[in-house]
Copies of this chain bind each other. A is one copy, B any other.
Amino acid sequence: MRSPEDLTVAFRSAGLKVTPQRQLLFRLLHDNTTHPTADALHHVASELMPGISLRTVYQTLTDLAEMGELQSIEVGSGSMRFDPNVSDHHHAVCDQCGAVHDVYVTHAPELHGLDSFSVSDAHIVYRGLCGLCSATGSHR
The reply on A50 being an interface residue by CB < 8 A is no
- Mark A88-112 against chain B: 1 for CB-CB distance below 8 A, else 0: 0100101100000111111111111
Q: Is the CB of A120 within 8 A of B114?
A: no
Question: Judging by beta carbons under 8 Å apart, are A116 and B131 in contact?
Answer: yes
B103 contacts A131, CB within 8 Å? no
**Residue A125 interfacial (CB < 8 Å):** yes
* Count of identical protomers in the assembly: 2
With A120-B129, A122-B127, A127-B119 as given contacts, are A112 and B101 in contact (CB-CB < 8 Å)?
no
Separation in Å of the A6 CB from the closest CB of chain B? 25
- B101 and A105 form a contact (CB under 8 A): no
The CA of A134 and the CA of B120, in the complex, are separated in Å by 12
Contacts of A94 in B (CB 8 A): 117
Distance of A74 from chain B, by nearest CB (Å): 6
A residues 40-86 near B (Cβ < 8 Å) are 74, 76
Shortest A5–chain B CB gap in Å is: 28
Q: Cβ of A128: which chain B residues have Cβ within 8 Å of it? A: 117-121
CB distance from A135 to the nearest CB of B (A): 7
Q: Which A residues form the contact surface with B (CB < 8 A)? A: 74, 76, 89, 92, 94-95, 101-131, 134-135
